[in-house]
C-alpha cells in the first residue's frame, strides 16, 4: 500500500483504528495545541506566505493547530540587516503582528548565527568592526521586539559535533566569550524576554557535553540564560530516544527550560546526520525514492517514531516547555530542498493538503 502525497486516510477510519471516538472529530481535525494545552506549547515555523495570510484556509489551520511560532528566515541577519547601516524590519514586523492578532507566542530566530549572514560581513577584516556589528545588531533587533516576542534564540549552532566551539567569524574575532556576551547584550536590550541557546545534535553525548559546558560558562558569568533548544532533526527509524531523555534531564538539572525547537523526521536517504546547511548531497535516482507517495511501512515507522517521541515529551512535561515543528506541513518542509533540491519529503504530521497523517493520530491518541 502507498499513501499518495495529495491524499490521506480519512479521519474517521484512522480514528477507529486508533481507538478514538467519532465524537472527537465533531469539530473537524483535532487540535494539537488544545490536546497538549496542559503539557507544553505546540509551535511551527512560518514563512511569509503564511504570516501575510495569503490563504485564509491556511491561516485558519495554523491558528487551530499551533499556539507558538518561529520565523523560518525573516529574522536572520542576512534578511533583517542587509547592509551595514540598514535594517529591513517589514517582514519581521508582519510576523510579530500575525502572532499578536492570532494569539501565537513568537520565538525570535535568531540573533547570532554564523550562517545566513549579510554579505558585507565577508569583507570585514577587523575585530572592532565585527564587534560593532555584533553589538549593534543584538541591541537593535532585540530592542525593537522588546515585549513583542516571547523568546529569542540568542545564539544558534555555536558548537561542532565533538562539543568544541565552531570556528565562526565571531569566534575568530571576538573569542570564546562571544556567546556569553551575546546573552548579556540580549538581556540588556530585552530584559523580560526568555533567552535560549539553540543547536542540532546537542542530544548526542559529545556535543551535549560541550553544550552543558557552554551553558555553565554563561551561568558562571552571572548572565541569564533561560533555556536550551534541541532542534530535533532526526531520521526515521533512528530517533535517539535514550540520548534525548538523558539530555532533557541534564539540561533541566542546570535549571533550564528544554524546548524541541525544529522538529522533523527525515524519511529520505541521507549520508550524514545533523542540520549543517552548508552540506550537500549528489542528486541521483536513489536520492528521491518516493516522488508519488510514501510506502506504508515507512509511514507506519514514522508514526511509531512520533508516538515514541511524544510519550517521552509527556513523561518530562515538567521540563519540556515547547515542541515546535519545522514547517506547517510536508510541502513547507525545508527537507524538500536540502541537502538536495527538489526532493519529495514527508517529515511532518500533516500532508501537503494539511490533512493529518497516521503519525498525527498516534500523537493525539496519547492524550485520549
275 falls within a domain: no
Per-residue confidence (pLDDT) for residue 274, from 0 to 100: 64
Query: Which pLDDT tens digit goes with each residue over 281-338?
Result: 777 777 888 999 999 999 999 999 999 999 999 999 999 999 999 999 999 999 998 7
Q: Please identify which of the residues 157, 181, 194, 266 carries the catalytic annotation.
A: 157
Contact 59, 53 (CB under 8 A): yes
Q: What is the CATH number of the domain that holds 196?
A: 3.20.20.80
What 3-state class would DSSP assign to 92? helix
CA–CA distance, 199 with 217 (Å, rounded to integer): 17
pTM here is 0.91
Q: Mention every residue, 6+ apart, whose C-beta is less than 8 A from residue 84.
A: 120, 133
Confidence of residue 28 (pLDDT cuts 50, 70, 90): confident
d(CA 40, CA 315): 12
Residue 279 lies in a domain: no
Q: Check whether 6 has a pLDDT greater than 80.
A: no
Average pLDDT over residues 20-47: 80
- Does 188 map to a domain? yes
pLDDT at 278: 74
Radius of gyration of the chain (CA): 20
Return the C-alpha cell found at 97. 503582528
157 is known as an active-site residue: yes
- 273 vs 210 pLDDT, higher one: 210
Mean pLDDT value across residues 222-227: 98
Question: How many whole angstroms separate alpha carbon 301 and alpha carbon 252?
Answer: 29
The confidence score (pLDDT) of residue 215 equals 98
245 catalytic per annotation = no
Q: How confident is the model over 191-217, as a mean pLDDT?
A: 98
For residues 69, 28, 34, 307, the Cα torsion angle rounded to the nearest 10 degrees is: -80
Confirm whether 118 is domain-assigned. Answer: yes
Mean pLDDT taken over the chain: 91
What is the C-alpha separation between 218 and 221, in angstroms, rounded? 5
Q: Which of 194, 262, 266, 307 is catalytic?
A: 262
- Residue 122 to residue 129: CA distance in whole angstroms: 12
Maximum Cα interatomic distance, the chain, rounded to a whole number of Å? 65
- What's the rounded mean pLDDT across residues 331-360? 93
Q: Please indicate, yes or no, if residue 276 is contained in any of the structural domains.
A: no
Residue 217 lies in a domain: yes
**Any domain includes 101:** yes
pLDDT digits (tens, 9 = 90+) for 139-189: 999 999 999 999 999 999 999 999 999 999 999 999 999 999 999 999 999
Helix (H) or strand (E) holding 363: helix 358-365
Residues 6+ apart with CB under 8 A from 133: 84, 121, 124
Cβ contact 301:3 at 8 Å: no
Asked whether residue 281 is domain-assigned, the answer is no
pLDDT, position 289: 86
Q: What does the pLDDT average to over 252-259? A: 98
Nearest residue to 257 (alpha-carbon basis) of 206, 197, 312: 197
pLDDT in tens, 257-275: 999 999 999 999 876 666 6
Total Cβ atoms within 10 A of residue 344: 19
What is the number of domains present in the chain? Answer: 1
Structural domain for 76, as ranges: 2-270+286-365
- Asked if the model's pLDDT at residue 20 lies above 50, the reply is no
Amino acid at each position: 500500500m502507498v499513501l499518495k502525497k495529495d491524499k490521506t486516510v480519512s479521519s474517521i477510519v484512522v480514528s477507529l483504528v486508533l481507538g478514538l471516538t467519532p465524537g472527537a472529530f465533531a469539530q473537524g481535525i483535532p487540535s494539537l495545541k488544545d490536546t497538549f494545552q496542559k503539557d507544553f506549547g505546540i509551535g511551527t515555523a512560518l514563512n511569509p506566505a503564511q504570516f501575510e495570510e495569503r490563504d485564509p484556509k491556511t491561516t485558519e489551520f495554523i491558528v487551530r493547530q499551533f499556539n507558538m511560532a518561529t520565523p523560518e528566515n525573516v529574522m536572520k541577519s542576512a534578511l533583517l540587516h542587509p547592509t551595514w547601516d540598514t535594517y529591513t524590519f517589514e517582514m519581521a514586523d508582519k510576523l510579530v503582528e500575525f502572532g499578536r492578532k492570532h494569539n501565537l507566542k513568537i520565538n525570535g530566530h535568531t540573533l547570532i548565527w554564523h550562517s545566513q549572514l549579510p554579505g558585507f560581513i565577508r569583507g570585514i577584516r577587523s575585530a572592532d568592526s565585527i564587534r560593532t556589528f555584533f553589538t549593534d545588531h543584538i541591541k537593535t533587533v532585540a530592542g525593537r521586539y522588546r515585549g513583542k516576542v516571547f523568546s529569542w534564540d540568542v545564539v544558534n549552532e555555536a558548537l561542532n559535533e565533538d562539543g568544541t566551539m565552531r570556528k565562526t567569524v565571531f569566534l575568530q574575532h571576538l573569542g570564546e566569550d562571544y556567546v556569553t556576551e551575546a546573552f548579556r547584550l540580549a538581556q540588556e536590550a530585552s530584559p523580560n524576554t526568555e533567552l535560549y541557546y539553540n543547536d542540532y545534535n546537542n542530544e548526542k553525548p559529545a556535543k551535549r557535553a560541550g553544550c552543558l559546558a557552554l551553558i555553565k560558562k554563561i551561568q558562571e558569568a552571572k548572565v541569564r540564560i533561560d533555556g536550551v533548544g534541541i532542534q530535533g532533526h532526526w531520521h526515521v527509524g533512528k530517533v535517539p530516544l535514550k540520548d534525548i531523555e538523558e539530555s532533557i534531564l541534564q539540561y533541566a538539572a542546570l535549571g533550564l527550560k528544554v524546548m524541541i525547537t525544529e522538529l522533523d523526521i527525515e524519511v529520505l536517504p541521507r549520508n550524514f546526520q545533523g542540520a549543517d546547511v552548508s552540506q550537500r548531497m549528489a542528486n541521483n535516482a536513489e536520492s528521491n525514492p518516493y516522488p508519488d507517495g510514501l510506502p506504508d511501512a515507512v509511514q507506519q515507522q514514522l508514526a511509531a517514531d512520533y508516538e515514541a517521541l511524544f510519550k517521552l515529551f509527556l513523561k518530562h512535561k515538567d521540563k519540556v516547555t515547547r515542541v515546535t515543528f519545522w514547517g506547517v506541513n510536508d510541502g513547507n518542509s525545508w527537507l524538500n530542498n536540502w541537502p538536495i533540491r527538489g526532493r519529495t519529503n514527508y517529515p511532518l504530521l500533516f500532508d501537503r493538503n494539511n490533512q493529518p497523517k497516521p503519525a498525527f493520530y498516534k500523537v493525539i491518541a496519547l492524550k485520549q
